[in-house]
C-alpha cells in the first residue's frame, strides 16, 4: 500500500537502540515489555520476540487507567494464553504496580530462584530491562517504581535518548532504553492507531485526516462517548466521519468567517480529547481467537 501512514520510521538512534538491547540482554534477568493498553498488539514491536529470544519476559499493559477495563482483562488473558506473563499498570498513580510486578517476577523467574537456592546462591537485586515503543509511558512507569524522577518524561515520543541503570530500593535494577519502532509499518491500521496515541510525531502527519480516521473508529464502538462529550444529538450518530467532525466543530464554537467550521482546530480538539481521556476509557483493538503475536 502506498499511503501517508506507511512510514519509514527508523532513524539512526533507533537502530543503535536495537543493537544496545541485544548487547545488554546478557546483563539482565528479565525483560519488561511495555505496551499501550489501548492498543496492546499495535504498540508491540514485532521484532522484540526475535531480539529477546528465550529471555524471561513480562508484558505490562501500561496506561490501563485510560483504557477500556473490560478489554484490558481480555488482553491480559490473551497474553497468558500464549504463556506470556502480563499485568496492567496505571503509571500515573502507580496503584498496585509494585505488588503486581513482584508477583509476576516470582512467576517468570521461579526456575532461576530455585536453581540459585539449590546452589546456595543468595538472591541479588533483580536486573530488568525496560523496553517499548516511543510514548508508551516507559519513563513514567520507571519513575513510579523508583518513587522519584529517575527518568525523563514527556507527552511526545523520543524523550529517552540513551540507556541508564536505575536502582530501586536494593530490590531491582532497571535498565532503561530509548523507545524503538520497527523499520516500516507494514500494516496501515497499526500505524494509524499509534498515531492516534501520539507514538508518531504529529509534525509529519495530517491532523485533520488523523481526526477523521479516529472518528471512524469511535463511531463503531464508542459513539455514546462522542455524544456525551460533545453534547451531540442522537441523530448525529447517523453522520459519516466528515459530517461528524463538522458537527463537533459547531458544538465547540470552531466557526470561522462565513459560517464554515475550522476543521483544523476541531481536529486538534478531538485528538487532544482522546489522548487526555476526556472521551472516556477507550481501547482501539480487541483480541481475536486467530490473532497472532
Annotated binding site for GTP: 62-65, 90-91, 135-140, 179
273 vs 77: CA distance, rounded Å: 29
Q: 180, 235 in Cβ contact below 8 A?
A: no
Nearest to 59 by CA among 47, 70, 75: 75
Q: 33, 131 in Cβ contact below 8 A?
A: yes
Is 152 in a helix, a strand, or coil? Answer: coil
Residue 103 CB burial class (10 angstroms; 0-12, 13-18, ≥19): exposed
92 vs 144: CA distance, rounded Å: 8
Is 96 in a helix, a strand, or coil? Answer: coil
Nearest to 44 by CA among 171, 139, 181, 149: 181
The DSSP bridge pattern shows strands 164-168 and 172-176 to be antiparallel
Grid coordinates 533483580 are at which residue? Answer: 126
Grid coordinates 540459585 are at which residue? Answer: 116
35 vs 64: CA distance, rounded Å: 10
Residue numbers belonging to the annotated binding site: 62-65, 90-91, 135-140, 179
Measured in residues, the chain has a length of: 293
Amino acid at each position: 500500500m502506498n499511503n501517508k501512514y506507511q512510514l519509514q520510521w527508523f532513524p539512526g538512534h533507533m537502530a543503535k537502540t536495537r543493537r544496545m538491547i541485544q548487547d545488554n540482554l546478557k546483563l539482565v534477568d528479565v525483560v519488561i515489555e511495555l505496551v499501550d493498553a489501548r492498543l496492546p498488539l499495535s504498540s508491540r514491536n514485532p521484532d522484540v520476540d526475535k531480539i529477546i529470544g528465550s529471555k524471561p519476559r513480562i508484558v505490562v499493559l501500561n496506561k490501563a487507567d485510560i483504557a477500556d477495563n473490560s478489554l484490558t482483562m481480555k488482553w491480559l488473558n490473551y497474553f497468558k494464553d500464549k504463556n506470556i506473563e502480563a499485568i496492567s499498570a496505571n503509571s500515573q498513580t502507580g496503584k498496585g504496580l509494585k505488588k503486581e510486578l513482584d508477583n509476576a517476577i516470582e512467576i517468570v523467574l521461579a526456575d532461576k530462584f530455585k536453581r540459585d537456592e539449590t546452589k546456595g546462591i543468595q538472591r541479588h537485586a533483580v536486573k530488568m530491562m525496560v523496553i517499548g515503543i516511543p510514548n508508551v509511558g516507559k519513563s513514567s512507569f520507571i519513575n513510579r517504581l523508583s518513587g522519584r524522577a529517575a527518568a525523563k518524561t514527556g507527552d511526545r515520543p523520543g524523550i529517552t535518548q540513551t540507556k541508564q541503570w536505575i536502582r530501586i530500593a536494593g530490590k531491582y535494577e532497571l535498565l532503561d532504553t530509548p523507545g524503538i519502532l520497527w523499520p516500516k509499518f507494514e500494516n496501515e491500521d497499526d500505524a494509524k492507531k499509534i498515531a492516534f496515541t501520539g507514538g508518531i510525531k504529529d509534525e509529519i502527519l495530517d491532523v485533520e485526516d488523523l481526526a477523521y480516521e479516529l472518528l471512524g473508529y469511535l463511531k463503531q464502538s464508542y459513539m455514546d462517548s462522542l455524544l456525551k462529550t460533545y453534547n451531540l444529538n442522537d441523530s448525529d450518530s447517523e453522520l459519516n466521519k466528515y459530517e461528524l467532525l463538522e458537527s463537533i466543530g459547531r458544538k465547540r464554537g470552531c466557526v470561522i468567517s462565513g459560517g464554515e467550521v475550522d476543521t483544523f482546530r476541531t481536529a486538534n480538539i478531538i485528538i487532544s480529547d482522546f489522548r487526555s481521556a476526556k472521551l472516556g476509557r477507550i481501547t482501539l483493538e480487541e483480541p481475536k481467537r486467530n490473532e497472532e503475536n
